[in-house]
Amino acid sequence: MRVIERIDDLAPFHGCSLVPTMGALHEGHASLMRRATGDGVPVLATVFVNPTQFGPREDFSKYPRTLDADLRIAEAAGAAAVFVPSPEAIYTRGLEAARTEAAAWPLPPAATEPRLEDAARPGHFGGVCQVVARLFDLCRPAVAHFGEKDFQQLRVLAQMVERSEGRWGALRVMPGPTVRERDGLAMSSRNRYLAPERRDTALGVYRALQMAMSAQRPATAEALMRETLQQHGFEIDYCVVRDARTLLPVTGLETLCRALIAARLPEVRLIDNMAMPVWR
């Protein structure tokens, strides 16, 4: 497996299957890379902690950076190469200019209309779209894989590609299912912020989603999720059932729906989601 730092060294991997990451890799990332090996082209992973998608009071400075372990995980999962760019390689005009550009980025509807992550983290999706577009430009993939755990992000990036007017050719965005720990907690790089004795509290997010699965209507599902999260001591950013494609409020039954949660403990913010049964 090659480790690439220079943009010029990416040329042999144009047409690849791309797995963009911010590092601190875990089984969720590895599962995306293994899925990507089935595309019939080399798998290129990226490791870049992107400063423009973090707000001023978020955890950019303490976000875990574990490159040596990341490279071992990527190689075991079948990656042919890992691109580890510097901020200067991604943002050639400097970070201040990059932040200005991210703030003005033309966003697709999934990044502005749902009032979920877009409301809880203003400016976040401008940075996400900016850096992923830059990686697409540099790596020129045929396929890009993203996990469903960050479900709104997945929909935002899919819409960005759909609206790109061929900027990245026939690029396909492929979703990968959320990978969970044995107890149900969705795998996340930020789970390492949790002390062992806080594990059961954190599982309130998964339990809330399970409660939503038992409901007969979207409004009931939302009420059950809220009650469960409050019982576990979470501060709730949102717990909603939305149209799985648009992420807008559900307007009728027999719609494919997704329950989505973002909730905070003092030490960590957790997000998760789950496909809901079709209500009739």
Catalytic residues: 29
3-state secondary structure of 211: helix
* 85 CB-near residues (< 8 Å, 6+ apart): 5, 7, 46, 48, 138
Contact 234, 263 (CB under 8 A): yes
Phi, psi of 243 (to 5 degrees): -55, 125
In degrees and rounded to multiples of 5, residue 45 shows phi and psi of -100, 155
Question: Residue 124 and residue 3: Cα distance in Å, rounded?
Answer: 28
Q: In this structure, what are the phi and psi dihedrals at residue 272, rounded to the nearest 5 degrees?
A: -165, 170
Question: Strand 17-21's sheet: what is its strand order?
Answer: 2-4, 81-83, 43-47, 17-21, 143-147, 172-176
Q: Which residues pair with 174 in a beta bridge?
A: 145
